[in-house]
Copies of this chain bind each other. A is one copy, B any other.
Amino acid sequence: MFKGAEILEKVRRERPLIHHITNVVTCGDCADITASIGALPVMAFALEEVEEMVQAASAAVINTGTLLPNQLEAMIKMGKKAGEKGIPVVLDPVGAGATAYRSKAALDLLKIVKPVIIKGNGAEIGSLAGVKGVRISGIQSIDAGDPLESAGRLHAVLDYRAVIAVTGPVDVITDGKRVARVYNGHSYLPLVVGSGCMSASLVAAFAAVEKDYFLAAAAALAAMGVAGEIAAEKKKIGPAEYKARLLDTLFYLNPQEFSNRARIEIR
């Protein structure tokens, strides 16, 4: 069997806790996907607790999507503690290249936290690597450049060894020696606003149980791509569909049916 499938099974068996410091736009989606793959999500941002929380976790995600200065401070504090304890940190440098503030923050995180996996779109990774000609509009890669070249140049900038995962129509993952290309995916996938953020959560869940972070990242992006293909083909009710149904059922809940079905015992 494909090694990635073993990693998936290990995630479901071990249910690793994934600590996120992430943006306010897609944090619910990141929590949902972490739970969907079988891991446990937690979001915690307070300086007072990030070191303790990350030590209870098996991996962490840092996402700069709606970065604020005090959150950056929490990311650094959490990331340094994770590094000391050997807990893998995934950096998703959302919007790097869009403003000087975000680019500098991402570069500071690379320098101080040294995340073991850096996952971004072509424009984000290219911007961090100083590649000319890549272009981002907000958080959207407009000119993605050559992913392998960008990853190579970012490796040259870093003073440590990281896995770099560049998402795109074909995902390119490299640790500087090996290169993986993931051809799975679906045209709907980039249309989902949170899909990039969500894939970082998957990468962290896989890295939580697989020490070869290169394989973990490649397998996680393959899982996202495969699920993206299947989701376009068939539908099976799960937690996400169920949440909508739950809300709508409450909306229509008939007092008589509520009475008839309530199984409540009071003593």
Q: Are A258 and B223 in contact (CB under 8 A)?
A: yes
Q: How far is the CB of A83 from chain B (nearest CB, A)?
A: 19
Query: Within the oligomer, what is the number of copies of this chain?
Result: 3
Whole-angstrom CA separation of A183 from B245 in the bound complex: 20
Interface-facing stretch out of A23-31, A120-128, A157-165: A23-31
Residue of B nearest to A266 (CB): B180
Interface-facing stretch out of A85-93, A96-104, A109-117: A96-104
Report B-chain residues with C-beta under 8 Å of the C-beta of A259.
1-2, 4-5
Quick one: given A46-B67, A184-B263, are A257 and B242 in contact (CB under 8 Å)? no
A155, CB-defined interface residue at 8 Å: no
Contact residue among B17, B23, B56, B249 (Cβ-Cβ distance under 8 Å from A43): B23
Contact residue among B26, B95, B242, B264 (Cβ-Cβ distance under 8 Å from A232): B242
Whole-angstrom CA separation of A140 from B230 in the bound complex: 29
A residues sitting closer than 8 Å to B (CB atoms) are 1-2, 4-6, 8-9, 15, 17, 19, 23-29, 31-33, 35-37, 40-46, 48-49, 52-53, 56-57, 65-69, 95, 98-102, 137-140, 178-184, 188-189, 191-195, 202, 218-219, 222-232, 235-253, 255-259, 261-267
Extra contacts besides A28-B29, A52-B101 (7): CB < 8 Å: A5-B255, A28-B193, A49-B100, A49-B101, A53-B98, A178-B266, A218-B266
Sample (10) of A-B pairs whose CB atoms are under 8 Å apart: A24-B43, A29-B247, A52-B100, A52-B101, A56-B137, A57-B138, A191-B251, A226-B261, A228-B249, A244-B244
